[in-house]
Chain A
Amino acid sequence: MSNHIVENLKHEIENFTAQLKVEKVGRVLEVFDGIAKISGLSDIRSSEMVTFPGNEVGVVLNLEEDSVGVIILGDYSNIKEGDEVKATGKILEVPVSNDIVGRVINAIGEPIDGKGVIKFEKTYPIEKVAPGVITRLSVSEPVATGIKVIDTIIPIGRGQRELIIGDRQTGKTAIVIDTILNQKGQNMICVYVSIGQKDSKLRKLQARLEEGGAMDYTVIVSAGASESAALSYIAPYTGVSIAEYFMDQGKDVLIIYDDLSKHAVAYREISLLLRRPPGREAYPGDVFYLHSRLLERACRRNQEYGGGSITALPIVETQAGDVSAYIPTNVISITDGQIFLETDLFYKGIRPAVNVGLSVSRVGSSAQIKAMKKVAGTLKLDLAQFRELEAFAQFGSDLDETTKKQLERGKRAVEILKQPQYSPMKTEYQVVVLYALTKGLMDDIPVEKIKEFEQGLIDYSERHAKTFYQDILKTKMWSDKGEEELKKVIIDFKNSFIVNA
């Protein structure tokens, strides 16, 4: 046996030829806080990868007259002055393969979930120019989030970039977890990029996704709070490169950046350490470009160029509801709309705490199915009128019939749009419930009974309004016959519901 090993080794050694080549080298001048200043390294390019002794990797960010500034990805405690640094001639790349699905990796593509090595097929550069105009297609396919208020009022399409913005503890991550959970069977790969988050939070999220069977189509890229700012800086680019790998196979990908305010903070740290001049809120001048070049890589490609799409859901955390701070305004202007979450609504019990007035989706409505568009249009109007009247109604009680009616309708609409966490709802159920609401068929149900009615209606209609459901699944719109049937079913159910109550 041991002879066999020796023979094998001998064979390997005989076959081995050390490839010796001329390498570009430099020497470390100084190292501090994850940054290294290096002399030499002539002819190096910006964002080129360099290697330090001990195989630590760095990325060149600053090219100065007689030194280069490098961010070190990984442990920099063993790097010292005078160490030899080698140029690799390559832009930073991440390894990718189909085996990556279901795994948790760090910002440079190494697995951190203890499930063994990942066999990689090839590498993708982390910085890439976004697809051009002719390769793109406008948004027309929906991303079903399973969250009523989003699917109806602020719909998201495949290839769209929709910002989720709000204060801490308003349920931003909850929305994206629900969205990932709802992608089961929707032919979607999800990439969740966690930037500067607590490892405990990430672990909880991973467990939750595993429980819901969502890890079968999800990749988690993590740059934790304990890791260096350099890793937080590159993590979203790593995530989008992985997404591009799947898009290149013609798949639809959903990528979530949680969150970009921490990303901007990490980049600010790096920039200040590299002595780049600070600008507004001490962010460097190119912080807009930092996010725009990232989010621009989200796209929907036409069939000629392989199809596939990347839908991006960046998250930005605001401080005390201030959306006019630097990073929020930047990202709002880059994305195709925002979902605005509010603390007040959250504590009023309206969850998800989406502020319907301030949230928009600039391109998503063209991705909605026809039936949904039909019911959502009136809902939007109902809610807008409700908000306007609500303020007035507090002053007096003498209200005319129409106003009273509108108020009652609005109250029911708000109630219907409430949805507990981890309970995504199928599009066809949403259509049924909203149909009942907007046609005024729920107006005589007491507000506190609405939730109960909703659940009952879904169960009952699924059994009795088969034509309607089939219409929706086949043609994305109801037929006259289906509508008649549904109307009858809703009234039947309501009668029995009121009697039972």
Chain B
Amino acid sequence: MATISNNNIARAIYLSSKDKTGQEQEVVIKNVINFLVRRKLISRSKDILASLKAIIYQEQRVVEVKVWSKEKISEENKKDLIQILKKRYGDKKFILQENLDDKLLGGLKIEINNESIDLTLRNKINKLQEYLIKNHE
């Protein structure tokens, strides 16, 4: 028998729990766990959850945005950032996940849907280094 992919399981869970009330959902969750135990898939639950999260986000037009910066971003900047993201990715709900990293020196690094925009000082310095080495080899 072909193995069922995490994505398939996650999609099945999503579809069966969609538009259900609290009590019905509890039953669904119980069934899901029973299913996973019976098929010996419980070890994959972490990956299945990640897939489920991705599916829910996609269905609800939510986009997770990871942001790295040296210092905490001010509320004003956040609003600007979301405006810019809306222009590029359409009218969706953006969830900012902020990370602090001293090594970036300054600027922002944004990762969204497997796309990354590196606007940090660190990156610019690295690029400059590459450029200077290449030109003076």
Interface locus among B19-27, B33-41, B116-124: B116-124
Interface size class, chain A: 20 to 34
Does the CB pair B116–A22 fall under 8 Å?
Answer: yes
* Contact (Cβ within 8 A) B128 A13: yes
List chain A residues, Cβ under 8 A from B113.
42
**In the complex the two chains form, is B128's CB within 8 Å of A24's CB?**
no
Whether, in the assembled complex, B114 has its beta carbon less than 8 Å from a beta carbon of chain A, the answer is yes
Tally of A-B Cβ pairs under 8 angstroms = 49
Give bound CA distance, A451 to B128, whole Å.
68
**Partner pick for A41 among B5, B51, B114, B132, CB 8 A cutoff:** B114
Which residues does chain A contribute within 8 Å of B115, judged by CB atoms?
A: 22-25
Residue B17 lies at the interface, judged by CB distance under 8 Å to chain A: no
| Bound complex: CA A20 to CA B126 (Å) | 12
> Given that A12-B135, A65-B7, A66-B7 are known contacts, is A18 also in contact with B124, CB under 8 Å in the complex?
yes
Residue from B51, B114, B131, B137 within 8 A of A25 (CB atoms): B114
Chain B residues with Cβ below 8 Å from A18 are 123-124, 127-128
Q: Which residues of B contact A84 (CB under 8 A)?
A: 116
Q: How many residues of B contact A (CB 8 A)?
A: 20
Q: Mark B56-92, 1 if CB is under 8 A from A, else 0.
A: 0000000000000000000000000000000000000
Give A357-370 as 1s and 0s: 1 = Cβ < 8 Å from B's Cβ atoms. 00000000000000
Contact A40 B128 (CB under 8 A): no
Q: Annotate B104-115 by CB proximity to A: 1 below 8 A, 0 otherwise.
A: 000000010111
15 interchain pairs, CB-CB under 8 A = A16-B128, A16-B131, A18-B128, A21-B117, A22-B115, A22-B116, A23-B116, A24-B115, A24-B116, A26-B114, A40-B114, A42-B114, A66-B6, A66-B7, A84-B116
Binding site for A on B (CB under 8 A): 5-7, 51, 111, 113-119, 123-124, 127-128, 131-132, 135, 137
| A→B interface (CB under 8 Å) | 9, 12-13, 16, 18-26, 40-43, 65-66, 84, 86, 117
New contact pairs (18) apart from A18-B127, A24-B116, A40-B114, CB-CB < 8 Å: A13-B128, A13-B132, A16-B132, A18-B128, A20-B118, A20-B119, A22-B115, A22-B116, A23-B117, A23-B118, A24-B114, A24-B115, A25-B111, A25-B115, A42-B113, A65-B5, A66-B6, A66-B7
